[in-house]
A and B are shown apart, each in its own frame.
Chain A
């Protein structure tokens, strides 16, 4: 596969340019020129160097026995043995290599989507690892190649070359799978393309029973996306103190995934339901909601070029970087035909929908970081400044597709002619012309007046300018606004969201007529200090004022204040305790619940309000969570206790309490958690760790149902006050999201002899989410449902969502000779999954519910799967 990739030429070029070199790095350190792809590994070997993970009994140093600990008391891991080397030619080069190849077999629920989510397991031959490295001990030149392949969707190859202290070049190619669903039964033909068509036997106007009959025989498909990336990067010492670097990464994402398909609500309007007059027609015969499948065909090219000085030119250290990121969507449209008429008899219009998918995007960034020492108080001044610009200018798409709203047809009884909206002549301009620029300036002073005391002052200003402006004006009709829901809404409701001054039909319509250019400026000021009371105790404190001026938003300014206190101590025996507390208080200007009027028709000249006024935009007491007042306390304690010379116990406890100043909107968010771990390294031959973590969170929100009886019929519909006629207290309700997550496991590694090495890992993950709700009275329930629901029907929660997975992984490496060995790999995974969103989906026909079409049955409720592999390892 590599030979077909465009960067192969670059790879070859690089190989040709660089003198051969090698050394197997034990870690993947981050280099400054990297855009991404720092860690290379896969499910067979997440670290990417497992074949070399043989602990070296020599330990860390010839100077002392045993392992040192980090400053916080954690034991360093045993270093790995340096592989055997052999002379390469007659010069100063040595080399080493290793190849591990074999066969993988999966059994059990091998297609479970959670098993395959990020793993390309496939029965067949696999390359566990091929590694080659060579090093010139005299010149410091090296070359290192590493590759692994589970399947064509799950593989990587990487080569590094350079000379220590001089230059470094890297090229790579990798494929990473991302499986989204293995139980998809798309109704449409053409999955993967931009045009979803109905299968034989179906046409717009079909009944749910007809669609069910077809859906029952649709083939099962897997929806997945593969991330294929390749890149080259370079870093070089241009002179003693100047380092240049550059990198290009190209990533291509291909595949398909679940997507939406709105054709207006399926139940709100229409004929009475089975319960007679006053009951909704569930399953409805109006509108349509579709779970479609869209293609993913993206490329992103990241370019990065920079220069840095590490020697202090005129006392300055600095780093200058230019970055460009270029996103391209090669399939920018999705058309989908629908099997249901949006209203009985309307089979000539709104027979499908169209999506404008993500536009191409160009991002540019220049950044300068510099620092200079100060004589005063051993200080340092540092500055960073950046400017970025993000731009989109794709050709705009017509509001309606001529395939589904052909010229000559009209949308229901509204008089909207398809011909006026199914070409780009209906738009006020032809291109997106979208642009957001932002500038950043950060100034910082650090001082250390004494060995015990240090303090800093940081000023950060970030300004964003959203220059995107679009007015929804149709020059063909002289109307402002848009035809939503692919034309389905006008057909179903007979209403439009179009505004036209001077037109009795449209002059009073409430409609969005322009884009809203969200943007913000942000200034952060921080003052902090640290005082070492004695050898074992350090106190720190900082105060941060974050002043934001977002626009157009509900508040013209926000002040977010953070006070942080921390105490690090070693006065509790041999333990290290790090205790921190943060108090946060947010306030701001007066809250305007509707700051977006300029983007709506009432702001236009010629707008004539109706006698009953406009429906309230929202309840005045609705505080959006990022704009509301907030008082928060966050406490965290980390204890690290060395147990003898070979073990460490670590405990982390934390709790966050957030209180928002709102009844309507987010009210509170609490998180409590604990992590415990025990690590043991008695010898180089044995290591073991056990860990457990638990976190629970509770998010509570409040809202109020509007008094639907007043909507569009009474001037009281404009009353925005909570407790008023349109938002009465009786309509108040709350929703609480309770989450509990547990993760635990044990890892054991032992070298029985130089020829027998065993790794055993057990990991457990559990998550339970429960959405519960409460309400002041049944008036909080929409009048659409109220006639046929009782309090007992409603209850007070949805069923819990549960996810549990247990994985047992084992690796046994057996050395048959000094050079040849066998690796046995086994992974046994099982779990269960419950999500009420998928409740009732047992077979493909279940995916048709009234005028709704769903695509996937969801993950298996229970799954068990085993992956085994046998590999031959050959090395130098």
Chain B
């Protein structure tokens, strides 16, 4: 092939692709479709002003109790909960990635500092005392060992062996955002059942953690959810 032909080939190729590069340039820098959920994988532990949080907590106490222990079982206990978890929940209520008739409205009025302060305050309160959970029960086995045949992972992997938060291990590999994983122990069975249902049906799917829980909850049948909720409530 002559050099003239080679040049023509290259010119043809460039011309052929020129519009493509123009389009690429016109679209600017990479802009992937925004995720419909908040990515918590690089979420760092938050801090807040406990005193300021306490000052803002009066409204919260109406449902979650003056000491962060819910007055009715449909509401979660907040006392001793992970501050980062609480902050993330408030943030997603506020930005609409988690919806609740009451909480969405309450969170809408909070500033970022308010949310950090409230989270820090409730995290500083003493958690509900430990109960007498039956590790041999179906719920206990699910929590501690999971059910490989059903594809159920053990809950303790992220929530800790007693449900009091994850047991962080040292590693030089990329780490999960441990601080965003909630403590479960002592939450009422009714609340846990509702939460697992919300995860399973996608009602609660606004964070990367919720995406994990969506897949986990879908492996659980109704009886498993009931057993697990009972076990957690007695932890």
Q: Contact residues of A with B, CB < 8 Å?
A: 57-58, 62-69, 107-109, 645, 683-685, 751-756, 758, 810, 812, 814, 824, 826, 828, 830, 863-866, 868, 870
A756 and B24 contact, CB distance less than 8 A:
yes
Contacts of B30 in A (CB 8 A): 683, 685, 751-753
B174 and A64 contact, CB distance less than 8 A:
yes
- CB-CB under 8 A for A62 and B212, given A68-B174, A685-B30, A754-B33: yes
Binds A, one of B13-21, B58-66, B129-137: B13-21
- CB-CB under 8 A for A62 and B209, given A814-B20, A824-B16: yes
Contacts of A755 in B (CB 8 A): 23, 27
CA of A865 to CA of B209, assembled, Å: 52
- CB-nearest residue of chain A to B3: A864
CA of A812 to CA of B175, assembled, Å: 36
Interface residue? B176 (CB, 8 A): yes
Contacts of A814 in B (CB 8 A): 20, 23
B32 and A65 contact, CB distance less than 8 A:
no
5 contacts between A and B (CB under 8 A): A63-B41, A63-B176, A752-B30, A753-B27, A754-B32
With both chains docked as a complex, state the minimum distance between the C-beta of A642 and any C-beta of chain B, in angstroms: 10
Q: A685-B32, A752-B24, A824-B17 are in contact. List 7 more A-B contacts (CB 8 A).
A: A62-B41, A68-B174, A683-B30, A684-B32, A751-B32, A752-B27, A828-B9
CA of A67 to CA of B176, assembled, Å: 12
Contacts of B39 in A (CB 8 A): 65
- CB-CB under 8 A for A109 and B27, given A63-B41, A812-B20, A824-B17: no
Contacts of A756 in B (CB 8 A): 20, 23-24, 27
Contacts of A57 in B (CB 8 A): 32, 35
- CB-nearest residue of chain A to B5: A108
A65 and B42 contact, CB distance less than 8 A:
yes
Contacts of B67 in A (CB 8 A): none
Contacts of B28 in A (CB 8 A): 753
Which among A62, A67, A753, A810 is the interface contact of B17 at CB below 8 angstroms? A810
Interface residue? B10 (CB, 8 A): yes
Interface residue? B208 (CB, 8 A): yes
B1 and A826 contact, CB distance less than 8 A:
no
A824 and B20 contact, CB distance less than 8 A:
yes
B32 and A64 contact, CB distance less than 8 A:
no
- CB-nearest residue of chain A to B175: A64
- CB-nearest residue of chain A to B10: A828
A64 and B41 contact, CB distance less than 8 A:
yes
Contacts of A107 in B (CB 8 A): 5, 9
Q: Contact residues of B with A, CB < 8 Å?
A: 1, 5-6, 9-10, 12-13, 16-17, 20, 23-24, 27-28, 30-33, 35, 39, 41-42, 173-177, 208-209, 211-212
With both chains docked as a complex, state the minimum distance between the C-beta of B149 and any C-beta of chain A, in angstroms: 10
Contacts of B175 in A (CB 8 A): 64
* A57, A683, A870 — most chain B CB neighbours (10 Å): A57
Which among B13, B41, B42, B174 is the interface contact of A826 at CB below 8 angstroms? B13
CA of A108 to CA of B8, assembled, Å: 10
With both chains docked as a complex, state the minimum distance between the C-beta of A132 and any C-beta of chain B, in angstroms: 24
Enumerate the 6 nearest inter-chain pairs by beta-carbon distance, A residue then B residue, closest first. A65-B41, A64-B174, A753-B27, A752-B24, A756-B24, A63-B176
With both chains docked as a complex, state the minimum distance between the C-beta of B59 and any C-beta of chain A, in angstroms: 33
* A57, A685, A752, A758 — most chain B CB neighbours (10 Å): A752
- CB-CB under 8 A for A758 and B24, given A62-B208, A824-B16: yes
Contacts of B9 in A (CB 8 A): 107-108, 828, 864, 866
CA of A838 to CA of B68, assembled, Å: 90
Count A/B pairs, Cβ under 8 Å: 86
Contacts of B177 in A (CB 8 A): 64
Which among B13, B35, B208 is the interface contact of A828 at CB below 8 angstroms? B13
With both chains docked as a complex, state the minimum distance between the C-beta of B52 and any C-beta of chain A, in angstroms: 31
CA of A65 to CA of B35, assembled, Å: 14
CA of A866 to CA of B14, assembled, Å: 13
- CB-nearest residue of chain A to B30: A685
- CB-nearest residue of chain A to B31: A753
A864 and B1 contact, CB distance less than 8 A:
yes
- CB-nearest residue of chain B to A757: B24
With both chains docked as a complex, state the minimum distance between the C-beta of A251 and any C-beta of chain B, in angstroms: 36
B27 and A866 contact, CB distance less than 8 A:
no
CA of A486 to CA of B199, assembled, Å: 83
With both chains docked as a complex, state the minimum distance between the C-beta of A596 and any C-beta of chain B, in angstroms: 54
A864 and B212 contact, CB distance less than 8 A:
no
CA of A62 to CA of B32, assembled, Å: 18
Contacts of B27 in A (CB 8 A): 752-753, 755-756
CA of A645 to CA of B174, assembled, Å: 9
Contacts of B209 in A (CB 8 A): 62
CA of A62 to CA of B175, assembled, Å: 11
CA of A688 to CA of B130, assembled, Å: 53
CA of A684 to CA of B6, assembled, Å: 36
- CB-CB under 8 A for A63 and B16, given A107-B9, A864-B1, A864-B6: no
- CB-nearest residue of chain A to B211: A62
With both chains docked as a complex, state the minimum distance between the C-beta of B175 and any C-beta of chain A, in angstroms: 6
CA of A814 to CA of B39, assembled, Å: 28
A64 and B176 contact, CB distance less than 8 A:
yes
CA of A135 to CA of B27, assembled, Å: 35
CA of A751 to CA of B175, assembled, Å: 27
Contacts of A58 in B (CB 8 A): 35
With both chains docked as a complex, state the minimum distance between the C-beta of A374 and any C-beta of chain B, in angstroms: 25
CA of A64 to CA of B174, assembled, Å: 6
Contacts of B31 in A (CB 8 A): 753-754
Contacts of A685 in B (CB 8 A): 30, 32
Contacts of B32 in A (CB 8 A): 57, 684-685, 751, 753-754
A68 and B211 contact, CB distance less than 8 A:
no
- CB-nearest residue of chain A to B173: A68
CA of A103 to CA of B124, assembled, Å: 68
Contacts of A826 in B (CB 8 A): 13, 16-17
- CB-nearest residue of chain B to A750: B30
A753 and B24 contact, CB distance less than 8 A:
yes
- CB-nearest residue of chain B to A751: B30
With both chains docked as a complex, state the minimum distance between the C-beta of A74 and any C-beta of chain B, in angstroms: 14
- CB-nearest residue of chain A to B41: A65
With both chains docked as a complex, state the minimum distance between the C-beta of B63 and any C-beta of chain A, in angstroms: 30
CA of A866 to CA of B5, assembled, Å: 10
- CB-nearest residue of chain A to B9: A866
With both chains docked as a complex, state the minimum distance between the C-beta of B153 and any C-beta of chain A, in angstroms: 11
Contacts of B42 in A (CB 8 A): 65
- CB-nearest residue of chain B to A63: B176
- CB-nearest residue of chain B to A813: B20
With both chains docked as a complex, state the minimum distance between the C-beta of B212 and any C-beta of chain A, in angstroms: 5
With both chains docked as a complex, state the minimum distance between the C-beta of B215 and any C-beta of chain A, in angstroms: 8
Contacts of A758 in B (CB 8 A): 24
CA of A65 to CA of B176, assembled, Å: 8
CA of A107 to CA of B7, assembled, Å: 12
Contacts of B12 in A (CB 8 A): 868
- CB-nearest residue of chain A to B37: A62
- CB-nearest residue of chain B to A827: B13
Contacts of A62 in B (CB 8 A): 41, 208-209, 211-212
Contacts of A684 in B (CB 8 A): 32
B6 and A108 contact, CB distance less than 8 A:
yes
CA of A453 to CA of B176, assembled, Å: 32
Which among A63, A65, A751, A866 is the interface contact of B212 at CB below 8 angstroms? A63
With both chains docked as a complex, state the minimum distance between the C-beta of B177 and any C-beta of chain A, in angstroms: 8
CA of A756 to CA of B24, assembled, Å: 6
CA of A467 to CA of B88, assembled, Å: 78
With both chains docked as a complex, state the minimum distance between the C-beta of B152 and any C-beta of chain A, in angstroms: 16
Contacts of A108 in B (CB 8 A): 1, 5-6, 9
Contacts of B13 in A (CB 8 A): 826, 828, 866, 868
* B10, B32, B208 — most chain A CB neighbours (10 Å): B32
CA of A65 to CA of B208, assembled, Å: 11
CA of A812 to CA of B177, assembled, Å: 37
* A62, A107, A870 — most chain B CB neighbours (10 Å): A62
- CB-nearest residue of chain B to A812: B20
CA of A65 to CA of B9, assembled, Å: 44
CA of A410 to CA of B41, assembled, Å: 91
CA of A684 to CA of B32, assembled, Å: 10
